[in-house]
Amino acid sequence: MMAISRADNSVLGRWWWTIDRWTLAALLALIGFGYIMMLAATPAVAERVIGSDARSLLLAKQVVFLVMAASLMAIVSLLSPKGVRRFALLGCLGALALTAATLVIGFETKGARRWLNIPLLGTMQPSEFLKPCFAVVTAWLLALGKDAAALRLAAGKPRDWGILHGRTLWPVLALALLAVIAVVLKSQPDFGMLMVVVSVFLAQFFVAGLNLVLVAVCALGGVGLAVSAYFILPHVRSRVDRFLDPAAGDTFQITKSMEAFGHGGLFGRGPGEGRVKNLIPDAHADFVFAVAGEEFGFILCALILLLFGFIVVRGLWRLMAETDMFVVLAATGLLAQFGLQAFVNMASTLHLIPTKGMTLPFVSYGGSSVLAIALGMGMLLALTRRRGPRLEGRE
């Protein structure tokens, strides 16, 4: 491989010497684990659910998605912060329109309308792409509010809390956009996705300097939303009841998942020797972590967990010296979303929280999920690049 000189002023040269190569390597390692887990879990699931003829087809399809994800992540990481902002705004509006369209022209699966049939591409879940784009747009609006307040303070003017003043207007617009997204996600329904979006939004509000009293009010509001979902949505109530009392309903999947971890032990049964993938319908998606635990053992599971933790901590560490509020808020939102999704998947597989159909980033099967996560991580890599006077500026 040809070495890239520090004096290389080409696009590739500037990209290589400014990007966080440790985070990039960790993300590529996760994509590699995703390929390994697809080799382990997908053929068995395809043969049981679709038929033996579709085993290689399903595996090849996911490999294509993983290659596309790596390519998309690299391409998006070339953007400047201004480019990320523009891209996210267009992506948010487009994804929101398509997510709303699922309520009209989408197809229903397991009581929810979250997917669209796209010619030549198959099914797509637009709300997956809405998550990273909304996090960046929210960061932009909150940063505009902070900038307006700073300019007013620099001019020696008193604080103005009027709704038309920038200090208040931009955050209110962010709240309004969140409300629209919440209505659409509730209508699908996709309560898990809604909770992730709201949690990331609150994390960004906190980092932006929201009053602690308001943070407490928002937290209580989140608790109220969760309690309301328990009493209003039957599938949410069923999952919580089964988590608290296994005798309250069918717990087949989580029981087999826990058995898989027990059988895997420290080093696992060995590649291809697992049994859980032959029993759980979503072993290649929501329960892929259980397949990893049974076939490769605690060592690989711990390594996957450490990779997720490293990416989040490394990203936050890179932000410690950042002075651009937009970059700080956007990267925080993307990292919170990435870490929260990984936590929900692994915790539900280990029966630490009620089960939730959420993929493990880059490791689980799923085209929309893998590409959306790649989009978010590409924007994160773009935002956390080191920039100097000879490099791309923070526009």
* Range with the poorest average pLDDT among 35-49, 99-113, 281-295, 355-369: 35-49
**According to the model, what pLDDT value does residue 10 have?**
78
Per-residue pLDDT at 217 exceeds 80: no
Q: What is the CB neighbour count within 10 angstroms for residue 120?
A: 4
What is the per-residue pLDDT for 137? 96
**Above 50 in pLDDT, residue 393?**
no
pLDDT over threshold 50, residue 391: no
How much is the pLDDT for 157?
60
> How many residues in total does the chain contain?
395
**What is the C-alpha separation between 306 and 208, in angstroms, rounded?**
28
Give 124's strand partners: 116
Compute the average pLDDT of residues 369-376: 95
- pTM here is 0.89
pLDDT tens digits along 259-274: 999 999 999 998 888 8
Angle at 95 between CA 27 and CA 77, to 5 degrees: 30
Q: Is the pLDDT of residue 373 over 90?
A: yes
Residue 395 CA to residue 383 CA, distance in Å, equals 11
The reported pLDDT for the residue numbered 59 is 81
CA distances (Å), origin 17, targets 9, 127, 301: 10, 34, 32
- How confident is the model at residue 44, as a pLDDT? 76
Q: What is the pLDDT of residues 274-324, one digit of tens each?
A: 888 888 878 888 899 999 999 999 999 999 999 999 999 999 999 988 889
Whether the CB-CB separation of 182 and 198 falls below 8 Å is answered with: yes
**pLDDT grade for 344, boundaries at 50, 70 and 90:** very high
- Name the most confidently modeled range: 38-52, 199-213, 226-240: 199-213
> Does pLDDT of 2 surpass 60?
no
